[in-house]
Structure 1
Amino acid sequence: MIYNYKFSPAIAILIGFSAFTGVGCSEEKSADTTTSTKNVGDQENITLAEDIYENIQVLNGTPAIHLTGVMNYFWNSLGTHCAHCHVLGKDGWKMESDEKEAKRTARRMISMVKNINKEYFGGGNRINCFTCHRGSLEPVKFMQLPGNAMTFSEYRNRVALSIPSLDDVLAQYQEAVGINNSKENSGIISFEGTFKDASGWRSQHYQIYINDSDNYLFTAAVLGDKPDTTTYGFTDDSTWIKKGTSVQRADDHLAYDVKSFLRLLNFRDLLSDVKDLTIVRVDSVDGEKVAVIKRPIDEFRWEEFYISSESGLPLKRIVYTKTPVVIYTIEAAFGDYREVDGILIAHNFVYENGNSFTSGLFKIKSVKFGIDENDVSFSPPE
């Protein structure tokens, strides 16, 4: 049996599925529906959106696990909300309904974008909703003056920027963070803290364990009048959820999104596969010069690390996911670095996935290194 995440506040806050994001623009099909599958990265047999949701017409071929990100992208590109296109009735969302003209218009616009990309850009994702809408329901028609033209000195400085070598950036990063040849760069780490979502809906207490095999154990406890605690486990062999005494397998959609979020917080991950890293450009974050390091994740995803040229500390991490319609992102901005056992750890993470219910501020209260493997089990409880 697959745990139904739609009714868990702990999961809803983190992932923003169903009632909050209008995942999939449709209702789920019955369980006996025959499904086709497609491999997505390290996940096998990923179900497509049209296999489990009703009335998918122009998002065909999109893996179901990516549909929430696509919906969040539409939402933000037009500066609106799920209810602009989807019907919210007394009994909940009717995602499959075509009652609203806005949804029918959205389909025409998606088809237009796909056709332009196919005709002029070889099928890539070069243009999308945001290209014209810029966060507004109406496409932006006029440039606001003054524009973004550079002064000559700004142009000269931009041209003069040199891209540092990857070895130099990584060496500076290791020295700044303090994990070069450190025993704390292996074994199990725990993070404990709180999360406040951007909408102000609810707060959470969380506990995260990460080992050097990219396994995760994550407990999220919703605080307030209706407490709700959920534990997630992710290993190479299993993905599971525990609520109360019930332990069940997590479905691919939920497991994909939760683990994608957890990967953003794994500060050791930058050095896990150096051979795939490349320096792609020099940029800035809040006026601070950064070197941007790119790494592929799988066929559909890649990520960028923004490393400060001044301090060597990571300031931001962005994961890009390519779908048949858009490229959407999730990201974490890091701040409030403090020393823990000789290592600088960011104690503030601003997480952003385009959904105010699931984006927000993570504050770390404690970090522990070198936890005994016998004290933490990443496997499902018996």
Structure 2
Amino acid sequence: MNRGLSSRIVTMLQTVAACLLVAALANGQAAPQEKPLMADDVFKNIQVLRGLTVDQFMGTMGFIAAALSMNCSECHHTGSAAEYADDTPRKQTARKMILMVNALNKANFGGKREVTCYSCHRSDSRPKVTPSLAEQYGTPPPDDPNELEIPEAPSGTALSPDQILDKYIQALGGSQRLASITSFAGKGTYEGFDTEGDKFPVEIYAKAPNQRTTIVHLRAGDNIRTCDGRNAWNTSAGTLLPVPVFSLSGGDLEGAKMDASLSFPGQIKQTLKDWRTGFPNASIDDKDVDVVQGSSADNTPVKLYFEKKSGLLLRLLRYTDTALGLNPTQIDYADYRDVSGVKMPFRLTVTWTDGRSTIVLSELRANVSIDAAKFSKPAGTAPAKP
């Protein structure tokens, strides 16, 4: 082929590709999946937990914190972001413990993760080695509904997944009205681990079928969580993370996609798969619930808790796999109000191993026009290592 003609063809194809990308973004379509930022390229002095993305690395830190009931400052020097990399006796001990747990699983369970930090620590910095008579003979704590599992011989009277999900859809307003909501925008207040008890303005934007953005206006800047249907990003305003924005991967990405899709609950049956029921009786805040379990796209279990009386969703429990174990994320829904003929929750409480946050909405508007840029990657520049 003539070299000049070949060059013109390549240039033309590149131009067409660029135009298609611009058109896709203008129409609010998801951009190609982004390669996640690696923790090894961001943090210094990583010796054991290598090869993880930034979000996987931070999730693993959260797992350790939950297993030992400790926070960052108890293992790290937290005077500045740079000091996090300094070695401390507890960091050195943690590395040894991680290697020990990995060796236990490899030697005894064929490498399958059967033992984790939590297996022994149980939210205590020092594992107990002596039985507690108070625990043995005292009143046992109430069952945690999050820990319910389907028994080997489930009750034959349990409702089917379709029955519970259909009741939920009807309680919200019915499938036809749900389908009529294609976008919404909300405003309210946010309070969480990063606000020291203060409340800050928050905005939520969502567009069917699977785009959602939450913007919290903190003192340190806007903390943004965005999902465009294929990619998801978090900014780090209000934290000591040395990256202004990072993409989510693995279970964190699947969780963000799930949250975006379930913003439009008429598609709940398609969002998850492998639905199951048959759990023991349970209650949340003295409200009896029906528990349904599905699986996400990465085959991680997801539990949903529907109030028996109203049929409304009270809680969603999903998990993210980390280098050391599963991290739970719990979302509680409350204060359902009518918005264009559909009941929508005005209070959302998110609890995970790194903290808890509550959003209380003061307004929700349905079927509003939302700029496609709201679901694009938030602005940020590549940082230097701390």
TM-score > 0.5 by shorter chain: yes
| CA–CA distance in structure 1, aligned partners of residues 351 and 294 of structure 2 | 19
Give the distance between the partners of 1:136 and 1:241, measured in 2 at CA.
30
Q: Do the aligned residues in 2 keep the contact of 1:192 with 1:367 (CA within 8 Å)? A: yes
Equivalent pair of 2:293/2:301 in contact (CA under 8 Å): no
* Cα 1:227–1:119 shift into 2, 3 Å: closer
Unpaired stretches in structure 2, ≥5 consecutive residues: 1-31, 143-150, 236-243, 380-386
Task: Please give the secondary structure, in 2, of the residue aligned with 1:282.
Answer: coil
Q: 1:137 aligns with which of 120, 125, 146?
A: 125
Q: Name the structure 2 match of 1:371.
A: 368
Answer yes or no: is the 8 Å Cα contact 1:319–1:329 preserved in 2. yes
- The residue that corresponds to 1:119 in the other structure is 107
Greater shift after overlay, 65-74 or 159-168? 159-168
Deviation of 1:174 after TM superposition, in Å, equals 0.8
| SS of 2:264 mapped into structure 1 | helix
**Contact kept? 1:216, 1:235, Cα under 8 Å:** yes
2:36 corresponds to 1:46: yes
Aligned to 2:316: 317
Aligned to 1:36: none
Q: Residue 208 of structure 1 corresponds to which residue in structure 2?
A: 204
Instruction: Look up the match of 1:190.
Output: 185
Q: 5+ unaligned residues in a row in structure 1: which ranges?
A: 1-41, 151-155, 243-248
State the TM-score, normalizing by the size of structure 1: 0.71
Q: Classify 1:183/1:372 alpha carbon distance in 2 versus 1 (closer, same or farther; 3 Å).
A: farther
Rg (Cα) greater in structure: 2
What is the RMSD of the two structures over their aligned residues, measured on CA atoms? 3.9
1:336–1:236 Cα change, 3 Å:
closer
CA spacing shift, 1:315–1:140, aligned 2, 3 Å: farther
2:53 matches 1:63: yes
Q: Which amino acid aligns with 1:178?
A: G
* Alpha-carbon offset, residue 379 of structure 1: 5.1
Secondary structure in 2 matching 1:108: helix
Q: Distance in 2 between matches of 1:149 and 1:220?
A: 36
* Aligned residue among 169, 172, 184 for 1:177: 172
Q: How many equivalent pairs are there?
A: 323
- The percentage of aligned residue pairs carrying the same residue is 21
CA distance in 1, matches of 2:66, 2:377: 37
Other-structure match for 1:273: 270
Cα distance in structure 1, aligned partners of 2:61 and 2:354: 9
Structure 1 residues 379 and 163, CA, compared in 2 at 3 Å: closer, same or farther?
A: same
Three-state SS of the structure 1 residue aligned to 2:175 is coil
Instruction: Please state how far the C-alpha of 1:221 moved relative to its aligned partner.
Output: 1.8
Q: Does the 8 Å contact 1:69/1:329 carry over to 2? A: no
How far apart are residue 195 of structure 1 and its match? 0.9
Is 1:94 aligned with 2:94? Answer: no
Q: What is aligned with 2:70?
A: 80
1:164 and 2:159 are equivalent in the alignment? yes
State the distance in 2 between where 1:161 and 1:378 align.
Answer: 45
SS in 1 for 2:164: helix
Instruction: Show the counterpart of 1:290.
Output: 290
Instruction: Indicate whether 1:105 and 2:105 are aligned.
Output: no
On the 8 A contact 2:62/2:353 being kept in 1, the answer is yes
CA distance 1:274–1:216, change in 2 (3 Å)? closer
1:290-310 Cα shifts (integer Å, max 9, x gaps):
2222221336x5533222333
- Structure 2 vs 1, CA of residues 329 and 85 (structure 1 numbering), >3 Å: closer, same or farther? same
State how far apart, in whole Å, the 1-side matches of 2:257 and 2:187 are: 13
Q: Is the 8 A contact 1:234 1:259 kept in 2?
A: no
Amino acid at match of 1:295: S
Partners in 1 of 2:156 and 2:269 — Cα distance?
28
Contact 1:220 1:231 in 2 (8 A): yes
Is contact 1:62–1:323 with CA below 8 Å preserved after alignment? Answer: no
Q: For 2:264 and 2:220, how far apart are their aligned partners in 1?
A: 32
TM-score scaled to structure 2, two decimals? Answer: 0.70
Q: Shift of the alpha carbon at 1:330?
A: 1.8
- Report Cα offsets for 1:235-292 as digits up to 9, x if no partner: 25777899xxxxxx94325999699568547442562615724115425242523222
| Separation in 2, partners of 1:166, 1:159 | 14
The letter for the 2-side match of 1:116 is: L
Contact 1:302–1:321 (Cα < 8 Å) also in 2: no
- Alpha-carbon distance change, 332 to 134 in structure 1, aligned in 2, over 3 angstroms: same
Per-residue deviation at 1:327? 1.0
C-alpha change, 1:65 and 1:231, in structure 2 (3 Å) is closer
SS across alignment from 2:78: strand
Q: Deviations over 1:299-341 (max 9, x none)?
A: 6x55332223332211111221112311112221112222223
Q: Distance in 2 between matches of 1:88 and 1:227?
A: 17
TM-aligned CA deviation for residue 171 of structure 1 = 0.9
Partners of 1:92 and 1:159 lie apart in 2 by 51
Contact 1:347 1:363 in 2 (8 A): yes
Counterpart in the other structure of 2:138: 146
Q: Contact 1:239 / 1:255 at 8 angstroms: preserved in 2?
A: no
What code does the residue aligned with 2:358 have?
A: L
More strand by share: 1
Question: For the structure 1 residues 136 and 237, does the alpha-carbon distance in structure 2 shift closer, same or farther, using more than 3 Å as the test?
Answer: closer
Query: In the aligned structure 2, how far is the partner of 1:304 from the partner of 1:58?
Result: 32
Distance 1:354 1:180, change over 3 A: same
Letter of the structure 2 residue corresponding to residue 298 of structure 1: D
Deviations 1:41-85, CA, capped at 9 Å, x for gaps: x95533443343222222234332222222122112212221222
Change over 3 Å in CA distance of 1:336–1:258 after alignment to 2: farther
